[in-house]
Chain A
Amino acid sequence: MMGYNPQLNANGELQHLLTIEGLPREIVLHILDTAHSFLLVGEREIKKVPLLRGKAIFNLFFEASTRTRTTFEIAAKRLSADVINLNVGTSSQSKGETLLDTVANLSAMHADMFVVRHSQSGAAHLIARHVAPYIHVINAGDGRHAHPTQGLLDMFTIRHYKKEFAALRVAIVGDVLHSRVARSQIHALTTLGVPAVRVVGPRTLLPSNVSELGVQVYHDMAAGLKDVDVVIMLRLQNERMNGALLPSAQEFFKYYGLTPEKLANAKPDAIVMHPGPMNRGIEIESSVADGRQSVILPQVTFGIAVRMAVMAILAGNA
C-alpha cells in the first residue's frame, strides 16, 4: 500500500500536489526550474501566457484565507485560466452537504483543477482519492499536515539567494507542532539534500517525534541560529499564546522572537524568511522584518511564480 504514490499518475508524472513528502527530487527541481521562467514572465509588461486558456480552476477554500487564495488566483489568471472562488465555510455540518458531495457537484461543473484549503489534515488526500481522473488537486493547506506550494516557494527563495543547497544550515523557528508550513519545509529541505535542518522552539511547540523527520532540535535560540544561512520564522497563532502551551506572547518573544541581537548569531549574509502574515513584535521585530536581510516580500512574488509552475505542470499531465 505504501508503494503506491497518490500524487503520481501511472507514468510517474505529477497528477496532484498534496504534500512534498514522497515527491521525487527531480520533480521538486523541475517545479523550481519552471518557476524561474514564470518569474521572468512576471517581470514583463504582459504578465500572462496562454497556457491554461479554457481551463477552469476552482479555489475550494474550506478554511478562510485571503492571502493564499489571492496568490493562487493571480497565478491562475496569469496562465489565462478561468478562476472560480468558493468559500465553502469551515464546517461541512453547517450546510449539511458532505465534503465529497461538494467536490462531486463541482466536478460536474467541468472543473479541471481544485485548489483546496481545509482545516483537517488529510482533506486534500481524501478529495484527490475521489475526483475524476482528469481533475488535478493542489493542496493549499490541510490542517497541520502540509502546505506544499509554500514549501516549494520557500525552496525557490533559498535557491534564489543561496544558489546551492548542499552546504546550507537552515533554522525553522516557532510553532512547528501546529505548522503545516514547517512540515512541508522540512520535507523539501531534506529532499533537496540540505545537510543541517534545525527546528527551534519550546518543547510545547515541537512534536515529540520531530527528530525522526531528520531535523536537529534546539530549545535555545542563540544556539539554534548559530552560523545558519537561512532563518525561517513561523507564525504564532493567537490561540497558542495564552493557554497551556505558552504563558504569553511576551514570554515567547523574549526567548524566540527574532531580534537583531538574536539574528547576529547567524551568518552575516543569512536571509530571514516568514510565510506570512507576520505578527510583528511576537515572532519577529519590525527592524528585522523590514531590514536588509529580510526576503519576506520577495517570497510573495516567488509564490506566484511557483504556483504558476505547479498549475502549468499539473494541467499538462494526463
Chain B
Amino acid sequence: MKIQIKGGRVVDPGSAVEKVQDVFIAAGKVLALGTAPNGFHANRVIDAIGMVVCPGLVDLSARLREPGYEYKATLESEMAAAVAGGVTSLVCPPDTDPPLDEPGLVEMLKHRARSLNQAHVYPLGALTQGLKGERITEMAELLDAGCVAFSQADVPLNDNQVLLRAMQYASTFGYPVWLRPRDAALGRDGVAHDGQVATRLGLAPIPAIAETVALSTILLLVRETGARVHLCRLSTSDGVDMVRQAKSMGIDVTCDVSANHVHLSEMDIGYFDANCHLVPPLRSIRDRDALRRGVQDGTVDAICSDHTPVDEDAKQLPFGESESGATGLELLLALTLKWGEEAKIPLAATLAKVTSEPARILGIRAGAIGLGASADLCVFDPHARWNVEPAKLKSQGKNTPFAGYEMSGKVRFTLVEGHVVYEG
C-alpha cells in the first residue's frame, strides 16, 4: 500500500528534523521525505495540513491485562486504545496471571498481539520465577521468546542477595533489568504518600524513603555488577537528585516517570478519589515539580503512560481497599504535550520523551522517522481541544484521574508498518 502524508509538519526528535514536508510510504517503510520518488503513485493520500507528523509513540509501560485479567481488559480493547493514543510500540510488564516467567506464555502473548496488527508489543520477562523474588528465571529462554528486559513489575524484591545475583546474571549477557525502586518493608501497607494529605485523610502512608532507600541499593548494585538497569516510575524529588548524581558519576542508568506524576500530586486525591490511588503514590507538589525539572534536564529520560485498566467495582471502594492504577494510553500524547507547553519546551524535545528516548532505552529501531525505517507514525492535530470523557475511551479501563480535564492535541491517524491502524 503506497501512502502519501501530505503537508504535515514532520517532527523527528531523534534527528532534529522539523519541517513541513510530505512523507512517502511504501511496503511498510518510509520511502522518502519531501519530494516524491520517481513514479510514486499513492494509493491513499492523507491530508495532514496543520497537523504534526511524528514517530509513533513508544510507551514504556502499558498493562494489557492478558493473560489472566480479562475481566479488567482484553488485548483487543487495550491495543485499540494504544493506537487511538498514537502509540505504535509498547512495553508490557510481566505481572500478568500467570506472570510472564515462561517462554510459552510470552510467545502466546506476542502471537496474540501480532495477530491484531496494531502496535508492536515488547513484553518484559519476570526477573524471578512467579515474581516471588527467590529464584531467577531462565532469561535466555525468555529473551528468545521475545522479552526485551527483565522486571519485578510492582513486586518489591526483599532479598538483596537475590537482587544482586539476578543483576549479576543479567549483566553477564547484557540483559537489561527494569526495576521499580520500592523498599519491600518501608510503607508496605501504605496507600498514599506520607505527607499532609495522608495525615489529614488518615491514609496509611508510604514515605519517600521507601523509594530512595531502594534506589540507593539499586544504584550501588549497578556500580557493583555493571548491570544495565532502567529505573521505572520515579516519584520523589530526592530520587531525581540521586539519579542525577549517579549519571554525573558515570553510572549507566536510565529512568522514566509516569505521565500521571508529571501533572498530579497528593492534593488531587481530594475527597478520597480512588482514581488517584496510584503506585507509586502521587507525592507532594515539591516532588512533582522536581520530577518535571528532571524530565526537562534529561535526568528523567522518558515519560510513559503506566497504563493500568481497572474495573469499576475495584475503584468504587474506600481508597485503601481500591485497586491502584490509572488508564493512560489514550492520554499519553496530550499529557506530554501539556507538560512541554507548560515547561516552554520546543515540540521536538517534548516528543522525544515519548518517542526517540524510550526507543533508545529499549534498544529498538523505533521512535524515529528515518528513510527505510518502518513506517510507524502518528499524525496529530496539536490544536484540537477535547475533554477527557471516561465513557468514550477505547480502553476498558475508564479509571482516569483526568476525567473532565480539557486536553490539547488529538491523534488523527496512527500507522504501523505503513498501515493505517487508527483514524480519529
Contact = CB atoms under 8 A, between A and B. Distances in A.
Q: Please indicate whether A and B come from the same complex rather than being unrelated chains.
A: yes
Interface of A: 1-2, 6, 21, 92, 98-100, 118, 120-123, 125-126, 130, 142-146, 180, 183, 207-210, 212-213
A208 B195 CA distance: 7
Nearest to B404: A1
A137 B248 CA distance: 56
Given A122-B201, A126-B318, A180-B202, 16 more contacts: A21-B200, A92-B317, A98-B317, A99-B317, A120-B318, A120-B321, A121-B201, A121-B272, A122-B272, A126-B272, A130-B316, A142-B202, A143-B318, A143-B320, A144-B203, A209-B194
A142 B268 CA distance: 20
B363 interface: no
Interface string B314-354: 00111111000000000000000000000000000000000
A98 B313 contact: yes
Contact of A209 (B199, B268, B319): B199
A118 B317 CA distance: 12
A121 B205 contact: no
B207 interface: yes
7 contacts: A92-B317, A122-B203, A122-B272, A130-B316, A142-B318, A143-B318, A209-B195
A198 B196 CA distance: 17
A122 B319 contact: yes
Contacts of B270: 1-2
Contacts of B173: none
A122 B320 contact: yes
B271 interface: yes
A120 B271 contact: no
Nearest to B197: A209
Contacts of A143: 202-203, 318, 320
Contacts of A1: 268, 270
Contacts of A207: 198-199, 205
A180 B198 CA distance: 12
Interface string B78-104: 000000000000000000000000000
Given A208-B194, A208-B207, A125 B202 contact: no
Given A2-B270, A121-B272, A126 B317 contact: yes
Nearest to A98: B313
A99 B318 contact: yes
Interface of B: 194-196, 198-205, 207, 267-268, 270-272, 313, 316-321
Given A146-B202, A180-B202, A123 B318 contact: yes
B369 to A, nearest CB: 40
B199 A208 contact: yes
A-B residue pairs, 6 tightest by C-beta: A144-B202, A122-B272, A145-B202, A120-B318, A121-B202, A207-B199
Contact of B318 (A6, A118, A180, A208): A118
Contacts of A120: 317-321
Nearest to A7: B271
Given A6-B271, A98-B313, A183 B200 contact: yes
Contacts of A208: 194, 199, 205, 207
Nearest to A118: B318
Contacts of A130: 316
B319 A121 contact: yes
Given A1-B270, A122-B272, A213 B200 contact: yes
A121 B317 contact: no
A209 B198 CA distance: 9
Nearest to B313: A98
A121 B203 contact: yes
Contact of A121 (B207, B313, B318): B318
B199 A212 contact: yes
Nearest to B194: A208
Contacts of B272: 121-122, 125-126
Contacts of B202: 121, 142-146, 180, 183
B402 to A, nearest CB: 12
B321 A145 contact: no
Output the residue of B201, B202, B272, B321 with the most chain A CB within 10 A.
Answer: B202
Contact of B316 (A21, A100, A125): A100
Contact of B196 (A6, A180, A209): A209
A145 B201 contact: yes
B313 to A, nearest CB: 6
Contacts of A99: 316-318
A146 B203 CA distance: 11
A21 B272 CA distance: 14
A233 B267 CA distance: 31
Contacts of A209: 194-196, 198-199
A288 to B, nearest CB: 28
B362 to A, nearest CB: 37
Contacts of A118: 318
Contacts of B321: 92, 120
Contacts of A145: 201-203
A213 B199 contact: yes
A94 to B, nearest CB: 13
B371 to A, nearest CB: 48
Nearest to A18: B271
B318 A122 contact: yes
A180 B205 CA distance: 15
